[in-house]
Structure formats: C-alpha cells, structure tokens
Amino acid sequence: MTCLKTILDPRNVRLLSLAGLSLCGLLTACIPPEAQPRKLSEKEALEFSLDQPTALDDVSFRQGKKGKPEDVGCADGQREGFANLERFPNVAGCLARWEGKKSLRAPVTAKACGDDNKTKCDSPGDVCAEGWHLCGVGGSNEDLATRVTGEECNSEAGPGKFVAAMSHLQEPKVCPPLPTKDTVFDCFAEGIGAESVCCGDGCTFGKCRHGVWKSKTKISRGKAEGCGNSSARRNGGLLCCRDELLPVAGAVI
C-alpha cells in the first residue's frame, strides 16, 4: 500500500510524466508476483482453449479380440471401438498415432500402423486394414449410415471417440436439411461445422444434428480441429468401414 500511495502522489505522477516513465509499469511493480497477470505457455493455451476437442489421454478403451487385420478392420489386428466383431462386422474403431495435424483424407500409404504395433501412421487412413477404408472418406454419409445406426454409434462404440473422415456440415455455419444419397460432405480444416462425425461415449452433439442420422449425429466438438486438421491426441480414434458389406449376425433379412 505504501508503494501504491507513493506512486499515485500527484507530485510524483508529474515527475514520472516528465521523465517519460510508464505509470502502468510502476504500478505493476507494486503488485505481488503471484497476483500479476501471467502469459500462458503454448501448452496451457492449447489445454484451456474452448475450441479444442477433448483429448484421449485418459481413456480406457474397450478392446476387441486380436485377429487377422482384414477381418478385424484395424491394421494392427485389434479394435478399440465397436469391439464386438460379430455384431459389427462392417465398422471398426481403430486407435492411431501420427505426428502433428493431418487431414483425415490424406492419401494412404499402405504402411500398416496402430497403437498395438507401436507404429505411427504416415497417413491416418493407414490405420485401416486392407479391404477397409476410413468411413466417409469419399464424402457420402451413407458410407457410415449403411454400416451402423445412429443409436449404435452413440451407445455401442464404447469409451473414447472414433471419428469419420467427413465434417458434419455440408458447408460451414449452415445447418443443412437431411442429406440424401447424393449429398457430398467435405473435410474442412477448422471452423463451425468442420468437426468430424463421431461415434463413442466421448462424442457430443453440436447445434446441427442431421449430418448422418436424423437428430442423432454427434461430433468431436471443438472447431479448431476439423476433419482436415486433426491431431492424434484429440482425434486419433478413427472409424474404419469394410469395403464390401457382410451380413450382420442376428439381423433380420
């Protein structure tokens, strides 16, 4: 308090002005270090940003049985989402790792990767086994809708998040009508609507819910990381779709 009174004394304020000194800078010096503003580190800024999707750091995934990659759907031979192969033969949740941020539609390299074989992916799509592809990579909502229902996406995928290679809006900031079989979805990098369609317990609803299933389409919410600009830490759970559909056990034909 003595420091503050001394600086704010009218006689001293005039002297500071004549000397070209900053009153604000001297006032800051009177504030205890623990009470002064502190610039966030890059890591802190990232963690506290409301635009960032939630991370997968502490998720305990529900893993399926190990098997042949072409049967399981994941290149490392084990699922982390839609673990029941018999019930979900045409869609798999696969955990991938890659450096930096990448588009989920980056060209695949056919170099197998995944969390089980400890191999980082050159392209996110490399996590899908031969005969499988990232769901939605061609822009069609039916790619996912013909393999799993909205209810199953939201309640049966398991812990964590598994995203498709498609943004949930057809164009940024516009909630569109229900898509048709001819509707094409883009893979936007960031902004409102760029977030990827998502299955799993960690997915949430945005304001627009008709991307794939009427009123049931969830997303990996956080517009800083859209389909075209995703990190493995936050969007490393991916949805792989079988190229050729198999009959579902117990389904009524």
d(CA 246, CA 253): 12
The confidence score (pLDDT) of residue 252 equals 46
pLDDT averages per 10-residue partition of the chain, 253 residues: 50 49 48 52 55 94 96 97 97 97 96 89 98 98 97 98 97 90 95 96 95 96 96 98 89 48
Note the maximum CA span of the chain: 92
The confidence score (pLDDT) of residue 224 equals 95
Cβ neighbours, 10 Å, residue 13: 13
d(CA 37, CA 21): 20
Place of tokens 């604000």: 24
The confidence score (pLDDT) of residue 52 equals 92
Answer whether 94's CB lies under 8 Å from 64's CB: no
The confidence score (pLDDT) of residue 40 equals 54
The confidence score (pLDDT) of residue 248 equals 85
Answer whether 102's CB lies under 8 Å from 115's CB: no
